[in-house]
Structure 1
């Protein structure tokens, strides 16, 4: 189960004919994100396993499995900022329980990302998903 925002994003990707258009769209998504406050670019929010610098800051409202999940993030790479925006669309606004139920590889596969990201970018995307899941799991 993905968020409504991700469903909208998946529909947009269906209309983009080739990977270059999708790639540009991913970069545009990243450009549209609100930058992370530099005070949150600290070791505790840094995601290890990414080729570029990536910071994810969880923003959880409430407690337990029904808490609302959100996060802020930023990278020093344009395409990775776009991947953060995609993950934000996938998870933001879900409850912690729902976050844990999302099949991220399958959902992201709907966008055709698996076939077009370098192995380093794929590893970084996996590391970001793992960080999100571990943050959500800690709330249950």
Structure 2
């Protein structure tokens, strides 16, 4: 499986989880650049998400900086009052660390109820070895 195929599969999983749990999901690198397309972007964020100096872009960068200081996942409120979480992943899409940004919800219980399963899926080491598997002899 190529890296592109893996990314397409991850995007599909992300889209399905976002729809099922009714919350935003996106994978970003340590600079806050999106690796996957955002899934479940709330209407409150649509006008702001893609502007370089928007509060949303700044919020993502701040989340990543806070994460690097804490070294564990955490939840906070964004400038628009939505709960958002950042957590590390084991995904091999770049030489840099990859993070899961999830939530962007008004009700904290949505994150509390669903974060554990979503985070568990994105914490799986979904890389593939460079050499094909060989059968034991």
Same fold (TM over 0.5): no
TM-score (normalised: structure 2) = 0.30
TM-score (normalised: structure 1) = 0.30
Report the structure, 1 or 2, having the larger strand content: 2
